[in-house]
Amino acid sequence: MSIFFPAYNDWGTIASLVVLAAAVVRDLTDDWEIIVVNDASPDHTPLILGELLRYVPHLRIVEHERNRGYGGALRSGFAAATKEYIFYTDGDAQYDVRELRSLWENRADADLVNGYKIARADPLHRIIIGRIYHHIVRLAFRLHVVDVDCDFRLLRRSVFERVELTRDSGVICVELMTKIEKNGFRIAEVPVHHYHRLHGRSQFFNFRRVFQVLRELGVLWWELIVQRKVTRPA
């Protein structure tokens, strides 16, 4: 299994996530690796990752010389993964990586095991924005998954033989889920816990970015729903 964490200004949480992930995955499989994609963090993240390399086996670091955005970090992580299964979650520790066990146990008949938040542990304004965003996306892109933006996922690497990701922003999650559903891949869904952010701040859901996100979603909707460009070009 390949485990990867996109990280941007996550120096306060990334070390514990990596160490805990290593402890969890050792009980699930002998064939594993951990990857951290440092998206040009200007904080202490590079220093922390350099120290982790000395102590955590099977750890690799992917460094971005410039910030590529959340989608760019995910694309780098998927490209760097070498194992049959790929698990990723964010580097801010709002999900408990120990719940990877639940995803792993439900992988047999699925190409994607998608987590969904039991309850969202965010400030009220983010909960409201998130719910509006979720309903707009599910309706516009005709999606059936319970939670589109729960970044706690286990995928078969073979998915990317048919799915090509192109977005560099947070709308990459909509692109990923739409292309997976429209290509007929099997999806299992597992409830997971969501926790308050202990360090850093969100790079996606905030009032300043609402209109930018809506514009990006409109372009993506035209491409995936109207033009039906959901399968990797031959």
| Model pLDDT for residues 123-146, shown as the tens digit of each residue | 676 777 778 888 889 999 999 999
Residue 233 lies in a domain: no
Q: What is the CATH number of the domain that holds 28?
A: 3.90.550.10
Task: For residue 144, count CB atoms less than 10 angstroms from its CB and return exposed for 0-12, middle for 13-18, buried for 19 or more.
Answer: exposed
Smallest CA-to-CA distance from 199 within 97, 99, 91 is with: 91
Residue 183 lies in a domain: yes
Smallest CA-to-CA distance from 154 within 117, 232, 102 is with: 102
The pair of three-digit structure tokens given for residue 47, joined into one six-digit string: 């220093």
State how many domains the chain has: 1
Residue 231 lies in a domain: no
Residue 232 lies in a domain: no
At residue 206, does pLDDT exceed 60?
no
Q: How far apart are CA 220 and CA 155, in angstroms?
A: 22
Residue 234 lies in a domain: no
User: Which of 102-106, 118-122, 205-209 has the lowest average pLDDT?
Assistant: 205-209
Q: pLDDT averaged over the chain? A: 91
Range of the domain at 172: 2-226
pTM: 0.91
Residue 186 lies in a domain: yes
Which residue type is seen at 223?
E
